[in-house]
Amino acid sequence: MDSAALRSLTPLLDGIDQWVELAPLLPVIISLELILSADNAIALASITRRLKSKETQKIALNIGILLSLVLRVILILMAQVVLRLWPIKLIASIYLLGLCFNKFRERFSSLDNHKAIEEQNNNISLIKTIFLLALTDLAFSIDSVAAAVAISDQFLLVISGAIIGVIALRFTSGLFIKWLDEFIRLELAGYIAVGLIGLKLLIILLSPSLVIPEWFVFLSMILLFIWGFSKRNYQSNYD
């Protein structure tokens, strides 16, 4: 979701074109980004923790999310074009729905299949992980392109939001790598949220006139994460 939340701030942000005018609103934007990047962060954390070494995980997150920032800025600069290319939205929605489907398949597969999938995940390479991190964040960023266009006259704000969003994503992804082991339901809750974002993109694509209230999406995410944090694994060991 990320910068999509900025759309609700558009009336307040009209006329802002200097850093001194933007500065007082940065705490609000940072808070929104930290909350609304949770679904994205869980997906990235789930991908990253397949790497065995914690040092390698940090490298993957740093490089992958830096690449994500470059891709987000490109998306913002090309927002008008991207919004007219429905295949991009379709690919993004299918990718996110695919992530959700694969997680459910892993979760409810037979024991033998689960072991095979787990072994395959353990063999994931650093380069592949970085690529998957950037690709996943890119798919999420498609949802925020509409918000970037809605406040396109506030170029400074949009770029600032992208930078803040990526910093927040790096911070929250690192936390979620630990939390995924501690809270049993959290990963599943995150992937359900991923599926909802993919479904939202698909619905908007198939029926542009249909408006999905932002409060409904936000409330759904809050309820999902309350459920995700509701059961702790007391036997988990983490630093």
In the prediction, which pLDDT does 94 show?
Answer: 92
Q: Quote the tokens at residue 232.
A: 């702790």
pLDDT in tens, 119-176: 555 556 888 889 999 888 888 877 666 555 555 456 666 677 777 778 878 888 888 8
Residue spans of the domains in the chain: they are 2-228
DSSP summary character for residue 52: S
Task: Give the residue from 200, 191, 189 showing the smallest Cα distance to 222.
Answer: 189
In the prediction, which pLDDT does 227 show?
Answer: 92
**Alpha helix (H) residue ranges in the chain:** 10-13, 19-22, 26-36, 38-48, 54-77, 79-84, 86-108, 111-122, 126-150, 155-182, 186-206, 214-228
- HSE-up of residue 88 (Cα within 13 Å, Cβ side): 17
pLDDT in tens, 181-201: 889 888 888 899 888 888 988
Q: What is the mean pLDDT of residues 92-118?
A: 75
Burial label for 231, CB within 10 Å (0-12, 13-18, 19+), is exposed
Task: Please tell me the pTM assigned to this model.
Answer: 0.75
In the prediction, which pLDDT does 151 show?
Answer: 52
Distance separating alpha carbons of residues 149 and 190, to the nearest angstrom: 27
Distance separating alpha carbons of residues 57 and 233, to the nearest angstrom: 22
Q: What count of residues does the chain have?
A: 239
